[in-house]
Structure 1
Amino acid sequence: MTTPRHEDFIIEARWMVPIEPAGIILENHAIFIQKGRIADIFAIDIGRARHPDMARVQLPHHVLMPGLVNTHAHTAMSLLRGIADDLPLMRWLREAIWPRESKHVSDSFVYEGTLLGGAEMLRGGITCVNDLYFYPDASARAYDALGMRAQVGMTVIDFPTPYASDVDDYLRKGLAARDAWVDSSRIGFFFAPHAPYTVSDASLERIRDLAEQLDANIHIHLHETANEISDAIQRDGIRPLARLQALGLLGPNLSIAHAVHMTDNELRTLADARVGVAHNPTSNMKLASGIAPVARMVATGIHVGLGTDGAASNNRLDMFQEMRHAALLAKVSTGDAAVLPAHQVLRMATLDGAHILGLQDQIGSIEIGKFADLCAISVNNAFHQPYFDPASHLIYVVGREEVTDVWVDGIRRVQDGTLLHPHNKELMRISGMWQNSLKA
C-alpha cells in the first residue's frame, strides 16, 4: 500500500459548489487543507490575511466542487469497451461478455483493466468509486496505485468462473482480500452478490449474516430489466425485491443498482428500509433496459447516487455524462421540466452517492473535517460563455474534458488536465496488449 505525503496548502477558487449547505454557490472563496482534510473555508482575502505565507493553488476561472462519487462500476471491464454493442442485457452477457470473461479474466486482467478505467475516472473528476468485479485484491492494488478512494466488491455468483469455483471459494477469497486491506484509509470492501437470478437463497442468507457480523455493506443488481422480473415471477412466484425482503436483506447497509422497473409500493419499501439506489442512466439507455423512476425515488425519500456501470455497457466512465443524462431523462420521462434541477443532480453525484456507500461523514461535500477529495473545472473558454450559473454549467454545458485538477486526501492526482500517475504511455501499452489478446 502506498503511503501518502500530505502537505498543508490553500486552494483559491472563483466559484465553489460546497453541496452542503444545499443550493449555494460561494464566490471568491478558499479552502485550507491540512493533513489531507478540509481545515477551514473562508473568503480569499481573509485567507491571505490569515495565512500570508501558506502555499496556495489559484483557480481564477474555475468551479471547485467535491470529487465525484461513482456508485456503480465494473472498472476492469474497460478492457471490453466496445466489444459488444447494440445488444439487450441478457444477450450481451451470454453471447459476448461471459464467454470472453471465462477465457481472459485473471489477476492481471483485473489489475490492468482497473488501472486503465480508474485513470479515466480520476482524469474526469471521479475520486471515489463503488466497484464490483472478480479478483478484488487486484482492483484494490490498482486503486491504491492511482491514489483513488474505492469501495471494492467481494463478488459472489452461484456458478464457477476463472476466479472462483463455488460460493465458499468466492467468499473465502473476498474476505481474504478484505483482511489484507483492513488498515487502508482509502480502500474498503463490501459484499457483492451479482443479482437474484445468479445467486441462490442460501447464498444470499449467508451474505446477509456475514454482512451483519462484519458491519459490511451489500450491493446487488436489481430490477434492471422487465424480463428479469417476469422470469423471477415465473421461477420464484414473487418479484426479486420481495424475495430479498423475505430473506431479510433490506436495510440501510443494502444498496441496489439500476432499479429501473419499480412500483410505487416497492419504492416505499425501499424508502422505509433506507435502501440506497445507484442510478445508471447511460448504461440503462444503451442496453434498452428502461428509464428508472428517479424523480419518484427522490420524492419518496430514497437516497439516489449516480453510476457509470462498466465501460463495456456505457462506453464511458464519465460522471458528467451521467449527471446530464440523469437530469434530462427525468424531465422527459415525467413531462416535468422542473424535476431534478442542477443542484439536486450535483448532490446525487457527490453527497448522496457518498451516503449510499456509508461515507457521507468523510466525503461528498466541502465541509470542515472531511477529506479533501476535490475537483476543479475550468470555464475559461469562449464556448462556455455567457456564464450565469455555475451549477447549471456543470450539468448542461461543461464535460469531463474541462476538469483541470483533482485531489484525493488533499494529494494532487491531476494537474492542469494531466494525470500525474500513471503515464499515458503505460495506459496505451495496457490497452494495446489486451486489445490484441481479446481480438485473438
Structure 2
Amino acid sequence: MRRKILLCCLALVLAWSAASAQTAKLIVKGAKIFNMAPNQREPFIGYLVVGDDGRLTEVNAGDPPASLAAKETYDAHGNWIIPGFISAHSHIWQSAYRGLASDQTLTGWIDALYGKMAPQAKAEDFYWFTLHGSLDHLTHGVTAAYNFNYGGPSSFDFGHPPPTAQSPESYQENQFRAEMDSGLRFVHGWQVGRAGPHYATEDARRALKAFLDWAAMQPKSTAFLSVMINGGTAFNDTYQQAVLEKSLMDEFHLGNQSHYLEPPETAGEEQSKFRWFMDSGLLSKQLIFGHFIHTNDFILQQTAAAGASMSWNPLSNGRLASGTADIPKYLKMGIRVGMGVDGEASADIADPFENMRTGLYAIRDKYEDAKIMSPYDVLRLHTMGSADVLGVADRLGSLERGKFADFLVIDPERFGHVFDPYASLVFIGAQADIKRVYVGGELLVENGRTLKQEFDKVQKEVDQRVTASLK
C-alpha cells in the first residue's frame, strides 16, 4: 500500500512538472498593463502569458521568469495594454450604409435604412456587409460584440415576406458565417418576427429551433459566445409580442436585448408598454434594454429590482438627436450598464474611443459637473461593464488569469506627458494609437491592417453589392 501511495505521489509530481514545462502560446513582456480587474485600478509594468487555449495563464508585474518558454514572445517596449473593447450593442451589417439620412432623427433614419435600402439587398449581401462591419470593429479595438442581425424584409412585415424575398433563415445563416469568419467574438442576436395573426409563437419557435440546430452543426469556435433574442416588444402594438419573446427565452434559455425608450417623440407611447415587460416576465436579469434614455423613476426602480441591465450608445444617440441617458443615476440605482458602438449607419464609425468621449462629455454637460463621471468609469463600462451585461464577465472584460487573452497594444507616444493614464486613453486615444489587436492571443490586426481577411477587398465587394442593390 505504501509503495502504491509513493508511486501515485511520484506520478502527480511528474504530471505537474510536465504541465509546468509546457510551452505557452504567447508571452508579452515589458508592457504597461491596464487589466481593469476589480481592486486593480493602478496600471503596472509587467507581462502576460497566453496558453494554447487562448486563455491567460499569468498576468503579473515585473519580468517573466527566465525558465518560462513560449512559441512566440512579444516585447511591448513600454507600450500600453488594455482589454479589448466590448460593444454591448452593435448592428454590424450597417457598416455598408454609413452616412445615410444624415439630417434625420430615428424615425426618418429607420425609414431610409429599413424601409428603402436594406430590403433591396440579398441574403448573401449580408454576409459581406457583416464581414466588413466585423473587421471594422476589430480595427477599432472592439474584440467582442452583441450583433443585432437583420432578419430579412419579412421580419419587419408581420411575418409576410414580399414575393421576391429570400427566407429569413438565409439571412441569419449568412450573417452567422461572416461573424465566424471575421475572428470577432460575438453574441448572435436572432431577429424574431412580429407577433400577429400571421405569425404565432409556434412559427417563431420552429424558426428559432431550426437556427439553433443549424448553428450547433457549424465548426466549434470560442468566438461564438451565445445567441440572444432581438426583442421587439416596444415596436409592436400588442402584448402578445412580449409573451412570444418570453416563451422563447424560457424554452431555449436565451437572453433578450430590446430597443426601448430611444427617441423622444415616442417616449410616452413606449413608457405605457413597460407593463408588458413586467406582466410577461420579460423584465428580468436576462433582459438588456438598448438605449433606455427616456425613462421615469418607476421604470428605473422596477428595472433595478428585477436585475435587468442596459446598453448605452452615446455616438448614435448624439447623431440621431435621441437624448442622453442619465447613466450616473442608473448606476446609483444599481442598474448594470454596458456600452455599445451601435450601427455604423447611425454612429458611422465603430470607434469606442469616440464613443467614450462622446458619452463622458454628454454626461458632464448634462450635470454641469466635471467630476460626475471619470475617464476610468467609461473605460470600465466599455470593457467589464459590457462583459457583465452580456453575461460573459467570467471570460471577457478584464485581463485576469483564466479569461480569454483579448487585448490591445496601445502606443502612447502621441499622448505626450501623461498626467493621468486613463485620461490620456479616453481624452486623446484613437484608432491610430492601436498598434496591435489580439483575440485569444492571436494577432488579428497590426497597425490598422487586418491579418485574417483583406479588408480592402471586402470593402470593394461591399461597395459593389450596395451599388447593385440600388439599381
Q: Same fold (TM over 0.5)?
A: yes
Other structure's SS at 1:349 match: helix
Deviation at 1:223, TM superposition (A): 0.7
Deviation at 1:144, TM superposition (A): 1.0
Residue 91 of structure 2, aligned match among 74, 79, 82? 74
Counterpart AA for 1:222: Y
Structure 2 residue 34 is the aligned partner of structure 1 residue 17: yes
Tell me, in whole angstroms, the C-alpha distance in 2 between the residues paired with 1:370 and 1:199.
Answer: 43
1:248-306, Cα deviation, whole Å (9 max, x unpaired): 11111110100010112322211111111100111111111111111111111111111
Aligned to 1:235: none
TM-aligned CA distance change 1:31 to 1:239, over 3 Å = same
Tell me, in whole angstroms, the C-alpha distance in 1 between the residues paired with 2:237 and 2:345.
Answer: 22
Cα RMSD (Å): 2.2
Tell me, in whole angstroms, the C-alpha distance in 1 between the residues paired with 2:470 and 2:252.
Answer: 42
Tell me, in whole angstroms, the C-alpha distance in 2 between the residues paired with 1:167 and 1:438.
Answer: 33
Structure 2 residue 210 is the aligned partner of structure 1 residue 176: yes
Other structure's SS at 1:204 match: helix
Counterpart AA for 1:116: H
Residue 128 of structure 2, aligned match among 101, 112, 115? 112
Deviation at 1:335, TM superposition (A): 1.6
Residue 107 of structure 2, aligned match among 90, 110, 115? 90
TM-aligned CA distance change 1:285 to 1:166, over 3 Å = farther
1:190-213, Cα deviation, whole Å (9 max, x unpaired): 111235123742232122122122
Tell me, in whole angstroms, the C-alpha distance in 2 between the residues paired with 1:22 and 1:343.
Answer: 13
Counterpart AA for 1:413: L
Tell me, in whole angstroms, the C-alpha distance in 1 between the residues paired with 2:35 and 2:69.
Answer: 24
Tell me, in whole angstroms, the C-alpha distance in 2 between the residues paired with 1:76 and 1:48.
Answer: 45
Deviation at 1:311, TM superposition (A): 0.9
Q: Which runs of 5+ in 2 are unaligned?
A: 1-22, 151-170
Tell me, in whole angstroms, the C-alpha distance in 2 between the residues paired with 1:184 and 1:424.
Answer: 22
Name which one, 1 or 2, has greater alpha-carbon Rg. Answer: 2
Structure 2 residue 216 is the aligned partner of structure 1 residue 198: no
Residue 149 of structure 1, aligned match among 173, 185, 205? 185
Aligned to 2:148: 132
Structure 2 residue 202 is the aligned partner of structure 1 residue 186: no
Aligned to 2:391: 358
Tell me if structure 1 keeps the 8 A contact 2:230–2:257.
Answer: yes
Counterpart AA for 1:198: N
Aligned to 1:3: none
Counterpart AA for 2:222: S
TM-aligned CA distance change 1:87 to 1:168, over 3 Å = farther
Structure 2 residue 60 is the aligned partner of structure 1 residue 42: yes
1:149-181, Cα deviation, whole Å (9 max, x unpaired): 100111123289xxx988755554443232333
Tell me, in whole angstroms, the C-alpha distance in 2 between the residues paired with 1:307 and 1:211.
Answer: 23
Counterpart AA for 2:432: E
TM-aligned CA distance change 1:137 to 1:200, over 3 Å = farther
TM-aligned CA distance change 1:184 to 1:169, over 3 Å = farther
TM-aligned CA distance change 1:81 to 1:175, over 3 Å = farther
Residue 446 of structure 2, aligned match among 410, 415, 420? 415
TM-aligned CA distance change 1:77 to 1:59, over 3 Å = same
Counterpart AA for 1:427: V
Counterpart AA for 1:56: T
Tell me, in whole angstroms, the C-alpha distance in 2 between the residues paired with 1:10 and 1:355.
Answer: 27
Residue 425 of structure 1, aligned match among 452, 456, 459? 456
Deviation at 1:229, TM superposition (A): 2.4
Other structure's SS at 2:29 match: strand
Other structure's SS at 2:234 match: coil
Tell me, in whole angstroms, the C-alpha distance in 2 between the residues paired with 1:438 and 1:165.
Answer: 28
Tell me if structure 2 keeps the 8 A contact 1:223–1:240.
Answer: no
Counterpart AA for 1:196: A
Tell me if structure 2 keeps the 8 A contact 1:223–1:258.
Answer: yes
Tell me if structure 2 keeps the 8 A contact 1:63–1:390.
Answer: no
TM-aligned CA distance change 1:12 to 1:388, over 3 Å = farther
Aligned to 1:436: 467
Aligned to 2:256: 218
Q: Equivalent residues in 2 for 1:283-322 (5 A)?
A: 283-322=316-355
Counterpart AA for 2:61: A
Q: Which runs of 4+ in 1 moved over 3 A?
A: 164-175
Tell me, in whole angstroms, the C-alpha distance in 1 between the residues paired with 2:261 and 2:412.
Answer: 39
Structure 2 residue 436 is the aligned partner of structure 1 residue 405: yes
Deviation at 1:102, TM superposition (A): 2.1
Counterpart AA for 2:188: V
Other structure's SS at 1:181 match: helix
Aligned to 1:326: 359
Aligned residues with identical type, % of pairs? 24
Tell me, in whole angstroms, the C-alpha distance in 2 between the residues paired with 1:53 and 1:185.
Answer: 22
Q: TM-score, normalised to structure 2's length? A: 0.84
Deviation at 1:430, TM superposition (A): 1.8
Tell me if structure 1 keeps the 8 A contact 2:24–2:71.
Answer: no
Tell me, in whole angstroms, the C-alpha distance in 2 between the residues paired with 1:15 and 1:351.
Answer: 19
Deviation at 1:224, TM superposition (A): 0.7
Aligned to 2:158: none
Tell me if structure 1 keeps the 8 A contact 2:233–2:242.
Answer: no
Tell me, in whole angstroms, the C-alpha distance in 2 between the residues paired with 1:138 and 1:257.
Answer: 24
Counterpart AA for 1:101: A
Deviation at 1:53, TM superposition (A): 6.3
Other structure's SS at 1:380 match: helix
Counterpart AA for 1:202: Q
Tell me, in whole angstroms, the C-alpha distance in 1 between the residues paired with 2:366 and 2:469.
Answer: 38
Aligned to 1:341: 374
Tell me, in whole angstroms, the C-alpha distance in 1 between the residues paired with 2:71 and 2:90.
Answer: 38
Tell me if structure 2 keeps the 8 A contact 1:155–1:174.
Answer: no
Deviation at 1:137, TM superposition (A): 2.2
TM-aligned CA distance change 1:136 to 1:13, over 3 Å = farther
Counterpart AA for 1:186: A
Residue 290 of structure 2, aligned match among 250, 257, 262? 257
Tell me if structure 2 keeps the 8 A contact 1:157–1:198.
Answer: no
